[in-house]
């Protein structure tokens, strides 16, 4: 590669982190967040839930085991920039550059993570070449950009039309795509489900014609998703339903709960969650910046052992359940894998 330019990350509070450009030229704006996963960098960048975000990896080296198409969670990257302490391999840098992703290494990722933990996730800009945009001008641009609160992003990442993902299985499952990860489809197919994927806003009658409905993960603030919430509300009780991540939050809104922005979110593959029914602790994969506000009700099934936030619901009368974490674990520990398999088996038994 040619000599790499000096770049920087600038936060909306004026904090500047110098770095070295290792991928695409230009500048990228987004919400700056951090993930604590030690592996899964390619899955992270292609996860649609990272749309609109600049991702800081807390692992000291990123890119050290290369890239492969089998690790893609979607066809293209959705994270707007990658921030690393040390680049671990040229294949990773080239892969990012070919896809137009700004990436900086030699960033003080420890200092950045501590800043975000203390002050919360912030808007920021990653600049690949400091000679093209001075920090004062970058700061003005950053502060003019919208915040993540109030941002409805699912329309940018959802499928525009229904499609069949797998056509053989014991049960027929409809998946509503709010920013769907491929590993969810793989786990459903492996469990024995024939899967049809629907856009983020669709006809509740179409969903209710299946044996079960899965509400997928996705990016942005759930509160502005009025039509998506309406579809969930009008489908609840008609067919068994499982929500994951944003799907969990939409199920919360559809059952008269509220959502809130977390200070810096949960992102990584090492988040402990208590299953209140069994007393078992699951180590889970997570990626979210919003959460459902706790209530005094009995429908909460899982809670985070980090901050006590709601991590799961069960509504037996509606045949609905949800989890805030990612049971497909792409990437991450397999503690929560049985959730998807068990749900598909329940659908088959009910049929």
Tokens of 266: 């949960």
Residue 288 annotated in active site: no
As a whole number of angstroms, the distance between CA 98 and CA 244 comes to 31
Q: Are strands 16-21 and 6-11 parallel, antiparallel or unpaired?
A: antiparallel
Indicate if 245 belongs to the active site: yes
Using DSSP, state whether 86 is helix, strand or coil. Answer: coil
Q: Which of 101, 71, 70 is nearest to 84 (CA)?
A: 101
Is 178 within 8 Å of 215 (Cβ atoms)? Answer: yes
Given strand 171-176, what is the order of strands in its sheet? 163-166, 193-198, 171-176, 212-215, 241-244, 320-323, 310-315, 300-304, 259-275, 281-292
CA–CA distance, 43 with 47 (Å, rounded to integer): 6
Quote the CA–CA distance of 132 and 82 in Å, as a whole number.
19
Calpha distance 41→149 (Å, rounded):
25
* Angle, CA 298 vertex, CA 297 and CA 300 arms, to 5°: 95
Strand, coil or helix: what is 184?
A: helix
Q: Which of 78, 210, 266, 326 is catalytic?
A: 326
* Of residues 283, 293, 259, 271, the one with CA closest to residue 334: 283
C-alpha distance across the termini of the chain, in Å:
58
- Let me know if 202 is a catalytic residue: no
Query: What distance in Å separates the CA atoms of residue 239 and residue 246, rounded to the nearest whole number?
Result: 19
Catalytic residue among 245, 257, 288, 299: 245
Half-sphere exposure of 141 (CA within 13 A, CB side): 15
Residue of 31, 43, 311, 328 with catalytic role: 328
The residues assigned a catalytic role are 245, 326, 328
């Amino acid at each position: 590669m040619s000599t790499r330019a000096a770049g920087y990350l600038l936060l909306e509070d004026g904090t500047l982190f110098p770095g070295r450009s290792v991928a695409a030229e230009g500048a990228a704006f987004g919400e700056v967040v951090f993930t604590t996963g030690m592996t899964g960098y390619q899955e992270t960048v292609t996860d649609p839930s990272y749309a609109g975000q600049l991702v800081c990896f807390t692992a000291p080296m990123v890119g050290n085991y290369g890239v492969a198409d089998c690790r893609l969670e979607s066809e293209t990257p959705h994270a707007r920039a990658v921030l690393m302490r040390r680049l671990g391999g040229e294949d990773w840098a080239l892969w990012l550059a070919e896809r137009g992703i700004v990436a900086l290494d030699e960033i003080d990722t420890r200092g950045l993570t501590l800043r975000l933990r203390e002050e919360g996730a912030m808007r920021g800009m990653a600049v690949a070449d400091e000679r093209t945009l001075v920090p004062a001008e970058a700061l003005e641009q950053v502060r003019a950009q919208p915040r993540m609160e109030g941002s409805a992003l699912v329309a940018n990442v959802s499928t525009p039309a229904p499609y069949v993902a797998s056509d053989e299985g014991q049960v027929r499952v409809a998946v509503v795509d709010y920013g769907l990860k491929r590993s969810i489809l793989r786990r459903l197919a492996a469990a024995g489900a024939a899967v049809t994927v629907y856009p983020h806003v669709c006809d509740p009658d179409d969903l209710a014609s299946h044996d079960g409905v899965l509400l997928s993960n996705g990016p942005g603030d759930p509160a502005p998703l009025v039509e998506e919430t309406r579809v969930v509300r009008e489908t609840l009780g008609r067919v068994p339903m499982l929500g994951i991540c944003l799907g969990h939050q939409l199920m919360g809104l559809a059952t008269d709960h509220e959502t809130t922005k977390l200070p810096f979110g949960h992102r990584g593959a090492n988040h402990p969650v208590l299953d209140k029914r069994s007393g078992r602790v699951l180590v889970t994969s997570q990626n979210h910046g919003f959460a459902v506000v706790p209530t005094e009700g009995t429908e909460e099934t899982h809670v985070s052992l980090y901050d006590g936030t709601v991590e799961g619901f069960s509504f037996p009368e509606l045949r609905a359940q949800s989890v805030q974490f990612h049971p497909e674990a792409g990437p991450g520990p397999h503690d929560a894998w049985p959730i998807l398999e068990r749900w598909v088996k329940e659908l088959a038994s009910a049929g």
